Amino acid sequence: MLPLMTRDPNSTQHMKILMKIKEELTMTKVVNPLKVVTGPDTRWSYVNAWEPKSINGGTPKYSVSLIIPKSDTKTIEKIKAAIEAAYHEGEGKLKGNGRTVPPLSTLKTPLRDGDMERPDDPVYANAYFMNANNSSAPGIVDADRQPIIERSEIYSGVYGRASVNFYAFNTNGNKGIACSLNNLQKIRDGEHLGGKSNAEDDFATDSDDDFLS
C-alpha cells in the first residue's frame, strides 16, 4: 500500500509500488482466491482515498463504497467466490468458542443488493454495492496505470476498477466476511454523487445570461 508521504512520482518506493499495481491489474490468472479486481464499470461512492477517516471513534481508515452493476456478472461471481473462499479459510476464527461454524448464509457479508436496500436511490438501481476499507492508503492510478497525484481527480461518482481482498472476522460476537481495500484505478469521470457538478459543465456556455439563468 502507498502512504501519502511517499506519493512522489520520482521516488524509488513510489516506482516499486506502481510496478506492483501494474502487475496486479494485468494479471490474467487468479493467484489469490480471496482477491478480486472489479470491472471498469464499477462506480465509486463515499470516497475517502486521500485521508483516513474515523467512524464512531474507531481506527481511521481509507474507504470507498463500490457500486457494481448487476450486468457485470463476471465481477459479481468473482466476489461471491472470494467471499466463500474467505469463509472456508476463516472457519477457525468464525467458530470461536462454539462447537460448529455458523452457516455462511447467517453471517454478515459485504455484498449487498442495491434494489433491496436502496430502492429509492436510482444510483443503486440494478446494482450491488459493498464497502471496502483499509488503515493503509490505496495506490491510485489512471486508465494508463500512471499515478494520480491531483486529489480533485478522485471523487464520489467516478468509474474504475478496485482491487480488494476478503477475510473473515469475529469481533465481540460479530461474525462475518469483510472487504479490504488494496488499490484503485480510475477509468473515467462520472457525474458527482451528492449533487455537486463539474466546473467544466458549469462554465461550458459562452453566454452569461444562460449561465446565470
176-210 residue pLDDT tens: 999 999 999 999 999 999 744 444 444 444 444 44
**Whole-Å CA distances, 129 to 3, 44, 71, 116, 172:** 26, 10, 13, 11, 25
* pLDDT value of residue 57: 87
> What average pLDDT does this structure show over 135-159?
97
* pLDDT value of residue 95: 86
| Pairwise CA distance, residues 148 & 143, whole Å | 10
* pLDDT value of residue 201: 47
Is the pLDDT confidence value at 102 over 60? yes
Which band of pLDDT confidence, cut at 50, 70 and 90, is reported for residue 173?
A: confident
7-42 pLDDT tens trace: 555 567 666 666 666 666 555 454 799 999 999 999
C-beta neighbour count of 197 within 10 angstroms: 9
| Pairwise CA distance, residues 32 & 182, whole Å | 13
The highest-confidence range among 7-16, 49-58, 60-69, 95-104, by mean pLDDT, is 60-69
Is the pLDDT confidence value at 138 over 50? yes
Fold of 4-192: OB fold (Dihydrolipoamide Acetyltransferase, E2P) (2.40.50)
Is the pLDDT confidence value at 48 over 90? yes
Which band of pLDDT confidence, cut at 50, 70 and 90, is reported for residue 134?
A: very high
Grid coordinates 473473515 are at which residue?
168
**Lowest mean pLDDT, pick from 91-100, 109-118, 156-165, 184-193:** 91-100
Grid coordinates 491510485 are at which residue?
140
Closest CA to 107 of 170, 63, 55, 188: 170
Is the pLDDT confidence value at 4 over 70? no
Mean pLDDT over the full length of the chain: 85
